[in-house]
Amino acid sequence: MKKATKKDIIFIRDRFLEEYADAVTELTYTNDYELLIAIILSAQCTDKRVNIITPALFAKYPSSKELSVAELEDVKELLKSCSFFNNKAKNIIKMAQSVEENHEGEIPHDTKELMKLAGVGNKTANVFMIEADGANLMAVDTHVFRVSHRLGLAFGKTVEQTEVELVKKLKDDLHIFHQAMVLFGRYICKAVKPECEKCFLTQVCKTKETFRVG
């Protein structure tokens, strides 16, 4: 696959900033606690499904205080339509316990501290910091991975390698690029049957030949 040139990168940057300057997560939340749980649940699950699940969860457990003493089976029941709900139920309870014990009930706004919480890896921590603080970080999910490779921005075989490549090439406004690539990948540059006719990056796409119709 061809590598994006410096000129290509500038074009991609400008178009993403133009199209998605005000983009935010499609997860529904009202505070840090709800945001972090929604992000944890969204791993290998759609935002749409998470938004269906969380109202009942947050109504029963409105803060880490209530969730920290929740019965595992009760939480599992609320999450049962979510992928990997068994592990996610265990993790969010443990996360809430840690927040209560170590952070006085407040979700920490620090990547390293976030990653000490159950169910929170590098990507989840970065997504939280991007959404909550507009942090200049890159989080690589399946959409970001796919889009960055199709555009020739990255060639790494892992999300960690891809994150390093994107940070090096895009440098600033990374929070916007994360959201941009997620939405672009979700609605236009899809994994199956990408909607190339809607794409505003066709002139710099390195894989468009693969998807050309007719």
The pLDDT of residue 210 is: 54
Q: Is residue 123 part of a domain?
A: yes
Q: Which of 94, 116, 123, 198 is catalytic?
A: 123
In whole angstroms, give the CA distance from residue 2 to residue 206: 6
Q: What are phi and psi of 15, to 5 degrees?
A: -70, -40
Using an 8 Å Cβ cutoff, are 37 and 92 in contact?
A: yes
141 is catalytic: yes
- 202 and 173 housed in the same domain: yes
- 103 and 149 housed in the same domain: no
pLDDT mean for each 10 residues of the chain (214 residues) = 89 94 91 98 94 98 98 98 96 98 97 96 95 94 94 93 94 92 95 93 81 42
The pLDDT of residue 2 is: 83
48 is catalytic: no
Q: How many domains does the chain have?
A: 2
- 155 and 123 housed in the same domain: no
- 109 and 144 housed in the same domain: no
Q: CATH number, domain at 93?
A: 1.10.340.30
The pLDDT of residue 212 is: 45
pTM of the predicted model as reported, rounded to 2 decimal places: 0.88
The pLDDT of residue 154 is: 93
- 123 and 45 housed in the same domain: yes
Q: Which of 83, 111, 133 is the last residue of a domain?
A: 133
Q: Which of 2, 7, 80, 141 is catalytic?
A: 141
If 0-12 CB within 10 Å is exposed, 13-18 middle and 19+ buried, where does residue 188 land? middle
In whole angstroms, give the CA distance from residue 139 to residue 130: 8
Alpha helices per DSSP H over 42-173: 47-60, 64-67, 72-79, 85-103, 111-114, 122-133, 142-150, 159-170
Q: Which of 133, 160, 177 is the last residue of a domain?
A: 133
Q: CATH number, domain at 151?
A: 1.10.1670.10
Q: Which of 115, 133, 151 is the last residue of a domain?
A: 133
Nearest residue to 27 (alpha-carbon basis) of 2, 51, 1: 51
- Domain range for 80 is 32-133
